[in-house]
Amino acid sequence: MARQIVIIGASASGIEAAAATRKKDRTAEITLITQEKTAGYSRCGLPFVIGGHIANFKDLVVYPQAFFKMLKLNLRTETKATTIDTKNKTISIQTKEGSCETLSYDALVIATGADAFMPPIKGREKRGILSLRTMEDGEKIDTAIKAGAKSAVIMGAGLIGLELGAGLMERGLKVTVIEMLPQILPQFLDADMAKLVQQHLEEKGMNIILNKVIEEFLGEDKVIAVKAGGEISRADLFISAFGVRASTQLAIDAGIPIGETHAIKTNARMETGVKDVYAIGDCAEAPNIITHRPTCAQLGTIAVREGKVAGVNIGGEYSLFSGVLASAVTRLFDIEAGNTGLTETAAQRNRIEVITGTVNSKTKADYFPGAKFIKIKLVIEKESQHIIGAQVVGGEEVTQRINCLSFAIQQGMTVRELAKADTAYAPPLCETWEPMVLAAEIAMMKLR
């Protein structure tokens, strides 16, 4: 009899788990369940549809219906998983028509992702507060712009908030971003690197307000303004970008253990504390490669890797997830920013004594037309001299430097080894001295 595999969630991690399982088990009956109308699309692309870089939201669909048919995957959209019975190995579901069913499983994958977070702010029950988590969210924002919205307040200066803010400005809106902390991108960059990004955004016309907590949503039944730090900001659009929280209620109700990050606790095989139940993606925690502490970084790159590991194990083979560095990059107008490993702030929070090496350079030979600025910051563990983090901000060539430094961290490279790296040079492509090497040399001077 064919094994029954049920996957709750049909986004990046869930689909990767289904595909990896199918490659190892040709006969299993694999069912994917999602509450959304559309499965297998890129959430990361949503701000860029709103900004006009991508023509249509449907263009974000990475896995068309033909993919599911080819792999013989049973995809059920607009279907909600309501309960998990781990003792009898069943789940209860509710269809879009309202009917209820029970599915049996031999292996269950929880890939429920994360939900937009809204703090307990006075007036949050009012209409008109939007977020950007799903394709439907994006369509609502797009509809509001087409209906004549001219201004927006974005609450939160993380990656999604700023990417959306840039997209709205590219559509002609006046944008104000309000952040409770003293810098933008607080989980992504240290303050000195974030300042470069902030200056660029402000030069483009974005109004950024820091150190202000949203106190109240103003209006009768619909929001017309927000009160932050005693000041009132009015707009046509109000976007909640306070971040996301792992969607774990199904697991909690089923008695599946939750970890210290408040995401579902897993081992290196992406197994939960309940036999034959796996958790992957934004709802699952995994160890940080440097600190070895559980983390829930909620990035698409991590989600697909976890999905593949779970799928291989469900398919009968053996695979381990190596951990998280949380490498990420973004582009906002004409500036790129990236991070891998720990920021200096995160290292200090984990009581790791560090020194840093920072350098300002160019992406081409200084005399070559079109050379753009680039700034690199290395975070070095003082005792071992290992590289444990890096940030890059510049006009171009950020992604591959972040990838290179991610490799260096994963391979346990020391700052001395990086300073001796043999790198390439050509005037239209790079400086004689690679900026990463220069940053390493500056860090070594501090060590001396």
Report the side by side order of strands in the sheet with 80-85.
Answer: 80-85, 90-94, 100-104
Which of the 8 DSSP states describes residue 315?
Answer: T
C-alpha 180/C-alpha 165 separation (Å) is: 17
Axis crossing angle, helix 191-203 with helix 159-170, rounded to the nearest 10: 10
Is residue 296 part of the annotated active site? The answer reads: no
Report the side by side order of strands in the sheet with 129-131.
Answer: 129-131, 237-240, 151-155, 174-178, 207-209
| CA separation, residue 12 to residues 8, 34, 88, 111, 436 (Å) | 12, 12, 28, 9, 32
Report the side by side order of strands in the sheet with 335-341.
Answer: 328-332, 335-341, 387-394, 373-381, 354-362
C-alpha 192/C-alpha 391 separation (Å) is: 10
Residues in the chain: 448
**Cα-Cα-Cα-Cα dihedral of 205, 206, 207, 212, to 10°?**
-160
Contact 425, 399 (CB under 8 A): no
Burial bucket for residue 220 (CB in 10 Å: 0-12, 13-18, 19+): exposed
R_g (Cα) of the chain, nearest Å: 23
Q: Which of 44, 100, 283, 430 is catalytic?
A: 44
Q: SS3 for 302?
A: helix
C-alpha 429/C-alpha 186 separation (Å) is: 31
Residue at token pair 């023509």: 55
Closest CA to 276 of 91, 75, 102, 114: 91
The residues carrying an active-site annotation are 44
